[in-house]
Amino acid sequence: MELARKTGAVIVFGPTAKPGYEAMIAKDHEKIKLGNIQLEVLHTPGHTIESSCLLLHDEQGKAQSIFTGDTLFVGDVGRPDLMSGNLSKEELAAMLFDSLHSKIKTLDDAVLVYPGHGAGSACGKNIGKETTSTIGEQKQNNYALKENDKDKFIQAVTSGLPAPPPYFFKDAVINISGYDSLELSLKESMKALSVEEFKAELEKGATVLDTRTADLFAEEFIPGSINIGLNGDYAVWAGTIIHFNSPLVLVCEKGKEQESVIRLARIGYDNIKGHLAGGIETWVYAGNKSDQVTCLELNELKTFLLSKEYVLIDVRREDEYSAAKIKDAVNIPLHILSTQLNTLDKNKKYLIHCAGGYRSMIAVSMLKANGINEVYNVVGGISKVKNEAPELLSN
């Protein structure tokens, strides 16, 4: 919508889409001319009912590349459980099987694939890190394209799906109904707050979101803050952990305020009251209390584990935990941690780890904000344990 307003371009959706704003609803196999090339709309229902791919025909009319959106990823396919209306994930998976076999696998092996998402996106189970591929490579390596039995395909794509981030369903509604311009969102959200104004928002119930890296957050932070660093899956985790309508105030590295706001705005979070002018230094300089996180290196972790006084929590996904885990670690995946906080004994001591340290610091900040004071972050997570202390791993 933003691009259409600025450029006069037409928004094009595939068959069955019903947006609440002006758009062209293309027919299956309809071709759109762009100079001497053409984009062919291929209706590929499965991820959603209206999902479509765009097949690019070059100047000679040859199929050269395909923009697959959420239908086909590198090494994966779009989840069939996110926005199904009255259809089950199994019914949508059946549609996806038909779409892949009739529209995608029939293309020449040399056709380039440009997917809509990359590694880390929650729109697939395990998307590869590569940003492009070919139809031939995907037919050879993608588990979903290799499966020719429809029932087995349905089982494969519907099993092991993590819970979708809560904001997905809100965003689906926004995508249909429309939204305010980014300029308006920035104008309302990019307010530099004095310490007094910041405190006033806290008293009204605002959540403090600290967008600095885990290392900087550990050194000093405002008590009660949730740390989700810009250097990781910032928007995904914010949308998973923070209530959609929760008022937010931000603590950022200097120069990172606008990025912090824009990446939230992209997933529909626009209830941002502003950021602390001058960042954490302003808070401390004004004489306000701050907190710290103790980070444990491997030798310290070993000592702590031997004492048996600490509960070790692994906040990785269930599949990661099943593949490799530290002895006696309890698995509470980060995406469900907020629902488990009240079950944790505030008088116990906790060690938190993930794969490398990003998710564990988010978890540590959540525990701290929930009144659990003796909680430690394991530096480097299980990746470091595998490389430097494999004896700590469970057989």
pLDDT tens-digit map of 170-179: 777 778 887 7
Helix H or strand E segment including 188: helix 182-189
- Average pLDDT of the segment spanning 339-357: 94
pLDDT, greater one: 169 or 5: 5
Assign 382 a pLDDT band (cuts: 50, 70, 90): very high
CA distance 174 to 20: 10
Beta-carbon contacts of residue 246 (< 8 Å; ≥ 6 apart):
206, 207, 271
Q: What is the dihedral of CA 123, 128, 130, 136, to 10 degrees?
A: -100
What's residue 313's pLDDT? 97
Per-residue pLDDT tens digits for 93-137: 999 999 999 999 999 999 999 999 998 787 888 899 899 999 999
* Residue 153, pLDDT above cutoff 60: yes
List beta partners, residue 275.
192, 250
Q: Which domains does the chain have, with CATH numbers?
A: 2-161 (3.60.15.10), 180-285 (3.40.250.10), 294-392 (3.40.250.10)
- Average pLDDT of the segment spanning 226-233: 96
Q: What string of H, E and C letters represents the secondary structure of 24-88?
A: EECCCCCEEEECCEEEEEEECCCCCCCCEEEEEECCCCCEEEEEEECCEECCEECCCCCCCCCCC
What's residue 84's pLDDT? 57
Asked if 117 and 124 touch (Cβ cutoff 8 Å), the reply is yes
Per-residue pLDDT tens digits for 292-322: 999 999 999 999 988 889 999 999 988 899 9
What's residue 92's pLDDT? 95
Angstrom CA distances, 6 to 23, 181, 207, 230, stand at 15, 10, 34, 28
Residue 306 exposed, middle or buried by CB count within 10 Å (0-12, 13-18, 19+): exposed
Assign 270 a pLDDT band (cuts: 50, 70, 90): confident
* Residue 86, pLDDT above cutoff 90: no
CA distance 275 to 324: 39
